């Protein structure tokens, strides 16, 4: 049910008061049940296909970072260094804590063999694997993604609990089990490593970081990026592209 909680979060991130123009109940006059309708519809689809949680996260993340059709250069890439990732988030008003927390959304979802094969067989054109990959994970990934094999094979981003919204992703990064290079690079930088350690540790609540609470706050903060209201925005005919 953690995935369902995340779907609900995606919906309400657009309704919470993160800017003066955004508020719960905005449609109370024109469409009083708008938020309830959206929530119930998404919940019903989630029960049929839990993988939509990761898809909705990805869609919302991309919308917050990209404000034009040629937006790929603004999005964090799985090949980028931690310095580049930090700068891209900073350019959007997000700090290092937000970066680690939001990347933790990779506790759900998948990538594909074509995006990680270079780490398994020819990292930095050496003909060898990325030395930061845990050897056990390397064996698993090579079995799943043979060299010159099908690049479209899906690969879970969280090898331990890909359908649960939990902290296992951070434990994987700590142990060298990050699937994407950009995820594993969180361990290379002192500032981001500090946050990873807090999420991966045993202490929760008042003395430690609660990932579910911190993620909600970071997600709402991200949702306030370059918000368009009134005639400045458009209702998309297709959610995946601009009109």
Q: Is 183 annotated as a binding residue?
A: no
At 170, list the tokens.
């951070």
Whole-Å CA distances, 19 to 89, 101, 147, 218, 222: 19, 21, 48, 14, 11
Query: Residues 61, 223: contact at Cβ < 8 Å?
Result: no
Q: Is 76 annotated as a binding residue?
A: yes
Q: Is 130 annotated as a binding residue?
A: no
Q: Is 63 annotated as a binding residue?
A: no
State yes or no: is 62 an active-site residue.
Answer: yes
Q: How far apart are CA 225 and CA 144, in angstroms?
A: 38
Query: 227: closest CA among 71, 39, 13, 33?
Result: 13
Backbone angles phi, psi at 154, to 5 degrees: -75, 145
Which of 60, 62, 97, 194 is an active site residue?
62
Q: How far apart are CA 239 and CA 243, in angstroms?
A: 9
Q: Is 51 annotated as a binding residue?
A: no
Query: Binding site for substrate: what residues are annotated?
Result: 76
Would you please indicate which residues are annotated as catalytic (active-site) residues?
62
Query: Binding site for heme b: what residues are annotated?
Result: 106
Query: Binding site for Ca(2+): what residues are annotated?
Result: 107, 158, 166
Query: Binding site: what residues are annotated?
Result: 76, 106-107, 158, 166
């Amino acid at each position: 049910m953690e995935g369902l909680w995340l779907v609900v979060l995606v919906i309400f991130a657009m309704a919470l008061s993160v800017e003066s123009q955004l508020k719960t109940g905005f449609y109370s006059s024109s469409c009083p049940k708008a938020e309830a309708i959206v929530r119930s519809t998404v919940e019903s689809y989630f029960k049929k296909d839990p993988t939509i949680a990761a898809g909705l996260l990805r869609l919302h993340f991309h919308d917050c970072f990209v404000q034009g059709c040629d937006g790929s250069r603004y999005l964090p890439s799985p090949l980028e260094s931690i310095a580049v990732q930090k700068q891209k988030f900073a350019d959007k008003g997000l700090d290092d804590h937000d970066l680690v927390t939001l990347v933790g959304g990779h506790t759900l979802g998948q990538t594909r063999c074509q995006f990680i094969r270079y780490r398994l067989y020819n990292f930095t054109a050496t003909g060898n694997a990325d030395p930061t990959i845990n050897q056990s994970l390397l064996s698993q990934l090579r079995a799943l993604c043979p060299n010159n094999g099908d690049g479209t094979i899906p690969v879970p981003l969280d090898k331990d609990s890909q359908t649960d919204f939990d902290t296992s992703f951070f434990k994987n990064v700590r142990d060298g089990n990050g699937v994407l290079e950009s995820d594993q690079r969180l361990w290379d930088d002192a500032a981001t490593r500090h946050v990873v350690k807090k999420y991966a540790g045993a202490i929760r609540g008042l003395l430690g970081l609660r990932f579910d609470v911190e993620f909600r706050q970071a997600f709402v903060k991200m949702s306030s990026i370059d918000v368009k209201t009134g005639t400045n925005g458009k209702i998309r005919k297709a959610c995946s592209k601009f009109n």
